Amino acid sequence: MIRAVFHKARGRYTGAAVSGHACYDDAGRDIVCAAVTSAVQLTCNGVTEVLKCGADVEATADTVRITLPPKADDSASRFIEALHVHLDILAHDYADFIEVSVHKNG
């Protein structure tokens, strides 16, 4: 299962962590994994390379974390919000393979 955890503080997205494997199909044929991976990469690249907001991105074997700096532009928060919307839609369509949650800090 893919688990996506979004972090919010004072009504703004401050980061996200996406981990796990969908196991919808064999490696190389897993459309759920491909959709999530592409969306996460787009978000991380949009925040770091396009907006250049200085976000911290950490990628390990099966987890990607993005954390916005405290004074990040609202555009960076909206990028993460867009990822949340996208993954919520995928979770609705593939509920056995994706779980999305939000942790609020204030």
**Would you say 4 and 17 are in contact if contact means Cβ atoms under 8 Å apart?**
yes
* pTM for the full predicted model: 0.94
Backbone angles phi, psi at 94, to 5 degrees: -130, 55
- As a whole number, the mean pLDDT across the chain is 96
What are the residues whose beta carbons fall under 8 Å from the beta carbon of 80, sequence distance 6 or more?
6, 13, 14, 15, 16, 43, 47, 66, 68
Of the options 3.20.20.80, 3.30.70.1490, 3.40.640.10, 3.30.1380.20, the CATH number for the domain spanning 2-104? 3.30.70.1490
Over residues 58-85, the pLDDT tens digits come to 999 899 999 999 988 899 999 999 999 9
| Cα distance between the two ends of the chain | 28
Percentage of the chain surpassing pLDDT 70? 99
Q: Give the start-to-end residue ranges of the domains of the chain.
A: 2-104
> Which tens digit of pLDDT belongs to each residue from 5-57?
999 999 999 999 999 999 999 988 999 999 999 999 999 999 999 999 999 99
10: left (phi over 0), alpha (psi -120 to 50) or beta: left
Q: How many CB atoms lie within 10 A of CB 86?
A: 19
Q: How confident is the model at residue 106 (pLDDT cuts 50, 70, 90)?
A: low
Q: Are strands 63-67 and 12-20 parallel, antiparallel or unpaired?
A: antiparallel
